[in-house]
């Protein structure tokens, strides 16, 4: 097993994407967007390797083009607390185009009073889209909290609902 970390960057119609990972799986999917709050920098020790991410890039491009509703055979190398991992695993069960509340996720993981903790776990998700934290909304149905910006969250949900013009 190698401890080398690879990355690639590419543009989509929604935003610029940076993928980071190693032979254990994808560790980061960063979306550069003017509305976002997350700051992300490429580490000087990482190795640019476009070939390493060919399949993931292809699947993401299909997603952004409105031609893919789920991701297959993408190995994830998730780093977080047990609680965060439980939340992130639950997020992956939310159907394409659906939205659920933070409270619903808390109930699904048998922690009905942990809505805020679910929100914090969402904010720490380093692999959005594939771990679809954008599908979580407030109890009143309002869009809340997305590290990459509410404008992008709205566009992603519109894409999944067939309301986004795709090229």
Q: Is residue 18 a contact partner of residue 127, using CB atoms and an 8 Å limit?
A: no
Q: Which residues of 56-72 are buried (b: 16+ CB within 10 A; e: fewer)?
A: bbebbbebbeeeeeebe
Q: Is 133 a catalytic residue?
A: yes
CB atoms near residue 4 (< 10 Å) = 12
Distances (CA, A) of 62 to 27, 38, 66, 120, 167: 20, 25, 6, 29, 11
Please identify which of the residues 76, 105, 106, 133 carries the catalytic annotation: 133
Q: How many Å apart are CA 139 and CA 103, to the nearest integer? A: 7
Catalytic sites, residue numbers: 133
């Amino acid at each position: 097993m190698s401890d080398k970390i690879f990355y690639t960057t590419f543009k989509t119609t929604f935003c610029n994407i940076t993928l980071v990972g190693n032979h254990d799986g994808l560790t980061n999917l960063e979306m550069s967007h003017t509305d976002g709050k997350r700051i992300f920098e490429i580490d000087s020790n990482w190795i640019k390797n476009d070939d390493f991410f060919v399949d993931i890039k292809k699947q993401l491009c299909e997603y952004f083009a409105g031609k893919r509703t789920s991701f297959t055979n993408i190995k994830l190398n998730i780093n977080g607390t047990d609680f965060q991992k439980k939340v992130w695993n639950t997020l992956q069960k939310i159907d394409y185009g659906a939205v659920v509340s933070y409270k619903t996720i808390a109930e699904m993981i048998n922690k009905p009073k942990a809505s805020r903790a679910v929100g914090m776990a969402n904010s720490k998700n380093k692999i959005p889209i594939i771990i679809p934290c954008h599908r979580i909304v407030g109890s009143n149905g309002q869009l809340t909290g997305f590290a990459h910006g509410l404008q992008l969250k709205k566009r992603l949900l519109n894409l999944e609902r067939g309301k986004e013009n795709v090229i």
